[in-house]
Amino acid sequence: KYMTSAEIRQAFLEFFKQQGHEIVASSSLIPANDPTLMFTNAGMVQFKDVFLGTDKRNYTRATSSQRCVRAGGKHNDLENVGYTARHHTFFEMLGNFSFGDYFKQDAINFAWTFLTETLGLPKERLWVTVHHSDDEAERIWKEEIGVDPERFSKLDEDNFWSMGDTGPCGPCTEIFFDHGADVWGGPPGSPEEDGDRYIEIWNVVFMQYNRSADGEMTPLPKPSVDTGMGLERIAAVMQNVHSNYEIDMFQNLLKATAAAVGTTDMDNKSLRVIADHIRSCSFLIVDGVLPSNEGAGYVLRRIIRRAVRHGNKLGAKGPFFNQLVEALVKEMGEAYPELAEKQSQVERVLLKEEEQFAKTLDHGMRLLHEAIEGLDGTVIPGETVFKLYDTYGFPHDLTADVAREHELTIDEEGFEREMEAQRERARAAGKFSVDYNDAIKLEGETSFTGYELLESDASTV
Ligand code: ATP
Ligand code: MG
Ligand code: MG
Ligand code: MG
């Protein structure tokens, strides 16, 4: 019998506790006091100031299972969902951290010991990369760990990790798992590395620098360690499946999704997309985000609408997305009590947004399909993308998602021109434009967000 995701999470935290690490709870998806980052995208985010030396804790070693969202900013996997076996918009990152305590040698040894001894993974299936400049890490891997040089390589950008454009960063070493010859893909650094055969499971970052807005890198007060391993990816390995979507945590969610949209086609890609999106959307709402037309709220709205569109494609007859919260709570409510507590609130927010989008979705889809049928070439014109956005509430990435399914692209520049023209018209008329999206009724109260739209939408659409 395989290890469940919950057992893996537990084993990880236990292992690092044994090594003197403090178990720290996951922080919110919305970083506290950090305007440089929209969403928590890694386990280190809640420790950023500790790395920078401006905050102190009463421990120098920590471990966590951190909820993460990668749907905007430097780390954005929204477009990968449904296309790779390993990317989610929401996932859990297992991590261990050293704040000026241990460094490369212990960090590498811990990771290797956990994988090969605690989890018992065969060494021949693990591949390792280090930063091309990092002779020390190379020496540790080759001489102390004894990793086979055949499965070892030195890379450049992929082995330098940063939280965002600014903040802590440093060279890293990564461990990959070979899912076997029946899966397409090539080893790290090869042209086929983006296939699903060699999956990056663990990144061990040697935090050494702070990057400022002008790109300058200054050394951190103390060399530190930050690691991240995707729970879903290591669960796939331990459960002998080749896709994250086949692990235990997704099974009930996929079934609930199929039932809610009324399909029996369990292999459908849209099903996986929806199962992914219900996780990010629910957790974002739990952490206080509401659908809106800017910032984090607009990312949430875009993800909800993408999910609704995929449900529509599968034949959903009415609101279905909010019905999946129950299955999610069953799966994750124990690890995240805040999710269970806010179940009905999450359902209400999703239902509201679904109902709102339902009013225009069918008409918009008809317009889009007509445009696609009448298309000369492979690029959907900016005017069409704009009309879908402006009149039917289609975020432009949703239109791009449909386009991609038809092996088409959208005219981004043309769309941006239309947006600019609209801003111009509004400025000339001396007023703000407001669309039907903007009146969002929540818990009896109408919040009108349209006035924020104009100045900020350039950065959010
Ligand atoms: P990839 O190259 O596969 O996109 P990454 O290099 O961007 O991954 P890191 O920033 O190094 O990922 O994050 C640390 C770990 O978190 C990864 O090794 C992986 O196990 C996990 N991870 C990263 N992004 C995702 C995602 N979108 N969904 C699930 N797990 C992820
Ligand atoms: Mg990535
Ligand atoms: Mg990578
Ligand atoms: Mg990585």
pLDDT in tens, 230-284: 999 999 999 999 999 999 999 999 999 999 999 999 999 999 999 999 999 999 9
Q: Is the CB of 141 under 6 A from ligand 1?
A: no
pTM here is 0.92
Q: Is the CB of 21 under 6 A from ligand 1?
A: no
User: Which numbered atom of ligand 1 lies nearest the CA of 158?
Assistant: 6
pLDDT in tens, 163-173: 889 999 999 99
pLDDT band at 429 (very low <50, low <70, confident <90, very high): confident
ipTM: 0.99
Return the HEC string of the chain.
CCCCHHHHHHHHHHHHHHCCCEECCCCCCCCCCCCCCCCCCCHHHHHHHHHHCCCCCCCCEEEEEEEEECEECCEECHHHECCECCCCCEEEEEEEEECCCCCHHHHHHHHHHHHHHHCCCCHHHEEEEEECCCHHHHHHHHHHHCCCHHHEEEECHHHEEECCCCEEEEEEEEEEEECCCCCCCCCCCCCCCCCCCEEEEEEEEEEEEEECCCCCEEEEEEEEEEEEEEHHHHHHHHCCCCCHHHCHHHHHHHHHHHHHHCCCCCCCHHHHHHHHHHHHHHHHHHCCCCCCCCHHHHHHHHHHHHHHHHHHHCCCCCCCHHHHHHHHHHHHCCCCHHHHHCHHHHHHHHHHHHHHHHHHHHHHHHHHHHHHHCCCCCEECHHHHHHHHHHHCCCHHHHHHHHHHCCCEECHHHHHHHHHHHHHHHHHCCCCCCCHHHEEEECCEEEECHHHHHHHHHHHC
- Separation of 430 CA from ligand 4 center, angstroms? 48
Q: Is the CB of 77 under 6 A from ligand 1?
A: yes
Q: Is the CB of 70 under 6 A from ligand 1?
A: yes
Q: Is the CB of 277 under 6 A from ligand 1?
A: no
Average pLDDT of every residue of the chain: 92
For residue 454, what pLDDT is reported? 35
Mutation test of ligand 1: which of 91, 127, 161, 190 has the most ligand atoms closer than 8 Å to its C-beta?
A: 91
pLDDT in tens, 432-459: 554 444 433 333 333 333 333 333 333 3
